[in-house]
Structure 1
Amino acid sequence: MKKLRLIQQIQDAGVVAVLRGDSPEEVIRMAEKAIEGGIKVIEVTMTVPFANEAITALAKKYTSSDPEADNYAIIGAGTVLDSETARITILAGAEFVVSPGFDRDTIMLCNRYRVPVMPGAVTVHDIVASLELGVDVVKLFPGNLYSPSVIPSLKGPLPQANIMPTGGVNLDNLHEWIQAGAFAVGIGSDLTKDALKTGNYDLIADKADAYMKAFDKATAFKKAKARG
């Protein structure tokens, strides 16, 4: 089923680029450079003016159906606060929906259309409430409120929870988050700030490449450790 396939693909990809900007054109350019650098999961936030234009343009250019395709990428929507916005982004082409907090109606709508939804969670109550509504992945947000050790602490009583930290994840601590058991990680301003400061968008591709190399290294280390 497509929903389950997408969830597995997001986990395999490991890194989600969370993109904010001043226009659809700017975010499209950011996304193209992030994908060029190897990050294949793009989250266009709804704080971007006319964000749906960026989602539609990217959804038309890239496909999630074939990971081997040159134009492979998964395009989703972030900062979705309500079910009305969720439906609009799905119609625009978003293949997954991310929220900064827990909203029951948003989760139910995404479930209705079999679209992966990742609500934000700060407390155990948030995570349990999400699981009860059939959520497959919760977004630990803001991640910089915690250290990576929070994941095994949460997964002690909730081993079935898939947790994706977003906010505060960087090249220095990505390894720790993966070792701690993160389902995937979300990367925000650290990916784009240098490009926005200098106007050199190639820096996004360079930073994306660095993130993917760090993720691959962390994943390989974790597998080797598991094998003993």
Structure 2
Amino acid sequence: MRREEVLKSIIDAGVVAVVRGDSKEQGLKIVDAVSKGGIKIMELTMTVPNPVELIKEVAEKYNGTDVIVGAGTVLDTETARACILAGAQFIVSPSLDVETLKLCNKYKVLVMPGVMTVKDAITAFEYGVDVVKIFPANLYGPSVISSFKGPLPQGDFMPTGGVTVENLHEWINAGAVVVGTGGSLTKGAKTGDYDAVEKEARRFMDAYREAKGIK
């Protein structure tokens, strides 16, 4: 899938599942549960044991479906390249690393770096970033979107960190083009309750459609 197609799919989906886990096996179960619940964009983080193997397995399993697999918590170019070769269709970082942006541009892969300042956001846009990740979003609250859009009205932003079913509409109403959610979505996995993860994914998608006025 081309970079622009991945971007459109992510924005159309509206919600990105940030998948963390204590093992690769748990990561796989979370992906399955989240997918069944209706969230189709998977950010598989480098904090999961054997994360590149997890990306490869999920990418192969869901090849030809509407599930899009990406890599999260990518800190450097070596990791980004390994994830891309394993099948990641987008890269997410917690901070801004220019060399990682260059690497992703070289491979024509969508990259969403984390920023905390307008200066970092401007740098990201200068390197062709389409969507900037605001992280950790819970340190700011939804009003940060309008604060960023004051000097950067052309910017598209994805808040991640502290996004819940209950406050999702606040982020969408504030102007977020997509939201990322992890702990709130996958908390059931800690006790092995993957049905709860599936139900929470469904609640997230219902909340997103309601916030967007989609019937």
TM-score class normalised by the smaller sequence: over 0.9
Q: Give the distance between the partners of 1:23 and 1:51, measured in 2 at CA.
A: 9
Q: Once the 2 structures are TM-superposed, how far is the Cα of residue 47 of structure 1 from its aligned partner?
A: 1.0
Report the 3-state secondary structure (helix = DSSP H, G, I; strand = E; otherwise coil) of the residue aligned with 1:160.
coil
Among 140, 144, 155, the alignment partner of 2:138 is: 144
Q: Once the 2 structures are TM-superposed, how far is the Cα of residue 171 of structure 1 from its aligned partner?
A: 1.1
| Structure 1 equivalent of residue 21 of structure 2 | 21
Q: Once the 2 structures are TM-superposed, how far is the Cα of residue 125 of structure 1 from its aligned partner?
A: 0.7
Q: Contact (CA 8 Å) 1:18, 1:43: kept in 2 or not?
A: yes
Q: Give the distance between the partners of 1:156 and 1:124, measured in 2 at CA.
A: 10
Q: Give the distance between the partners of 1:195 and 1:13, measured in 2 at CA.
A: 23
| Structure 1 equivalent of residue 208 of structure 2 | 215
Q: Once the 2 structures are TM-superposed, how far is the Cα of residue 159 of structure 1 from its aligned partner?
A: 1.1
Q: Contact (CA 8 Å) 1:17, 1:191: kept in 2 or not?
A: yes
In the alignment of these two chains, the number of paired residues is 215
Report the 3-state secondary structure (helix = DSSP H, G, I; strand = E; otherwise coil) of the residue aligned with 2:82.
helix
Q: Contact (CA 8 Å) 1:191, 1:208: kept in 2 or not?
A: yes
Q: Deviation per CA, 1:54-87: give whole Å up to 9, x if none.
A: 1111101113x6xxxxx32000000000001000
| Structure 1 equivalent of residue 70 of structure 2 | 76
Gaps of 5+ in 1: 66-70, 224-228
Instruction: Please list, as runs of the form range in 1=range in 2, the aligned pairs for 1:154-193 lying within 5 A after superposition.
Output: 154-193=148-187
Q: Once the 2 structures are TM-superposed, how far is the Cα of residue 194 of structure 1 from its aligned partner?
A: 2.5
| Structure 1 equivalent of residue 45 of structure 2 | 45
Instruction: Please list, as runs of the form range in 1=range in 2, the aligned pairs for 1:91-170 lying within 5 A after superposition.
Output: 91-170=85-164
CA RMSD after TM alignment:
1.4
Report the 3-state secondary structure (helix = DSSP H, G, I; strand = E; otherwise coil) of the residue aligned with 1:97.
strand
Q: Give the distance between the partners of 2:113 and 2:192, measured in 1 at CA.
A: 33
Report the 3-state secondary structure (helix = DSSP H, G, I; strand = E; otherwise coil) of the residue aligned with 1:203.
helix
Report the 3-state secondary structure (helix = DSSP H, G, I; strand = E; otherwise coil) of the residue aligned with 2:187.
helix
Q: Once the 2 structures are TM-superposed, how far is the Cα of residue 25 of structure 1 from its aligned partner?
A: 1.1
Q: Give the distance between the partners of 2:33 and 2:100, measured in 1 at CA.
A: 30
Q: Give the distance between the partners of 1:116 and 1:212, measured in 2 at CA.
A: 23
TM-score by length of 2: 0.97
| Structure 2 equivalent of residue 32 of structure 1 | 32
TM-score by length of 1: 0.91
Q: Once the 2 structures are TM-superposed, how far is the Cα of residue 200 of structure 1 from its aligned partner?
A: 1.3
Q: Give the distance between the partners of 1:141 and 1:84, measured in 2 at CA.
A: 22
Q: Contact (CA 8 Å) 1:23, 1:51: kept in 2 or not?
A: no
Q: Give the distance between the partners of 1:139 and 1:25, measured in 2 at CA.
A: 27
Q: Contact (CA 8 Å) 1:97, 1:115: kept in 2 or not?
A: yes
**Percentage of matched positions with identical amino acids:** 55
Q: Contact (CA 8 Å) 1:139, 1:165: kept in 2 or not?
A: yes
Q: Give the distance between the partners of 1:181 and 1:135, measured in 2 at CA.
A: 17
4+ residue stretches of structure 1 with deviation over 2 A? none
Q: Give the distance between the partners of 1:205 and 1:179, measured in 2 at CA.
A: 25
